[in-house]
Amino acid sequence: MRPAATPDPPYYAVIFTSARGHDEQGYEETAARMFELAARQPGYLGVETAPGITVSYWRDEAAIAGWKMDAEHAAARAEGRGRWYDAFEVRIARVERAYGFERPA
Amino acid sequence: MRPAATPDPPYYAVIFTSARGHDEQGYEETAARMFELAARQPGYLGVETAPGITVSYWRDEAAIAGWKMDAEHAAARAEGRGRWYDAFEVRIARVERAYGFERPA
């Protein structure tokens, strides 16, 4: 995956790690919709996702709080607890330093 | 994936996001060795990994610095730049809040 093109720190990361159960009904559609909605939120900086780990990046804590209050997002979280996930952990972290590498062409 | 069993915040996360190239020689063995060595480091709290994203958790910045100074780890990083990765980003973040969910049995 290409790393998200985030600005210089500080900014925030929400690290969402999950174990899914066997009920997958509606999961993919809802996940796709959440990526779409999150990207429209004020203060959204980018996302990186792989099976079981999604990291989203945000300008500040207010942007994270705004996204958490989105009504469709709240409904999706409720369905996640009720249906899709066996376990998950959400960690809110302040990115303090970052460095990258890009292979010269 | 089961979320790593981390303590109450604050603690640190190192978010490593990578795009691999087509040279895979030695990658799997070295990656396995790095997970093994990291887990022995003082201040290591756990790791979560999926293709393209690895998040490791640490007690404090000193623990991260200690791991960065490990000689085998330094050699592996050099090989990563020279051989395996097209691009990567390393973000060092302070976990400020966390919450989880576990489905009742």
pLDDT of residue A64 exceeding 90, the answer is yes
Residue type, A27: Y
Whether the CB of B103 is below 8 Å from some CB of chain A: the reply is yes
Give strand ranges (E) for B2-104.
11-20, 44-50, 53-58, 85-102
Structural domains in chain A, sorted by start: 11-95 (3.30.70.100)
Whether the CB of B10 is below 8 Å from some CB of chain A: the reply is no
What ipTM does the predicted assembly reach? 0.96
Strand order in the sheet with A53-58: A44-50, A53-58, A11-20, A85-102, B85-102, B11-20, B53-58, B44-50
Give dist(CA B89, CA B105) in Å, integer. 38
Give dist(CA B20, CA B37) in Å, integer. 22
Whether the CB of A74 is below 8 Å from some CB of chain B: the reply is no
Per-residue pLDDT of B38-54, as tens digits, reads 999 999 999 999 999 99
Query: So what's the pLDDT on residue B105?
Result: 79
Which residues of chain A does B51 touch, with a Cβ-Cβ cutoff of 8 Å?
Answer: 1, 50-51
- Report which DSSP code applies to A2: P
- CA of B48 vs chain A CAs: smallest distance (Å): 8
Which residues of chain B does A90 touch, with a Cβ-Cβ cutoff of 8 Å?
Answer: 98-100
- CA of B37 vs chain A CAs: smallest distance (Å): 22
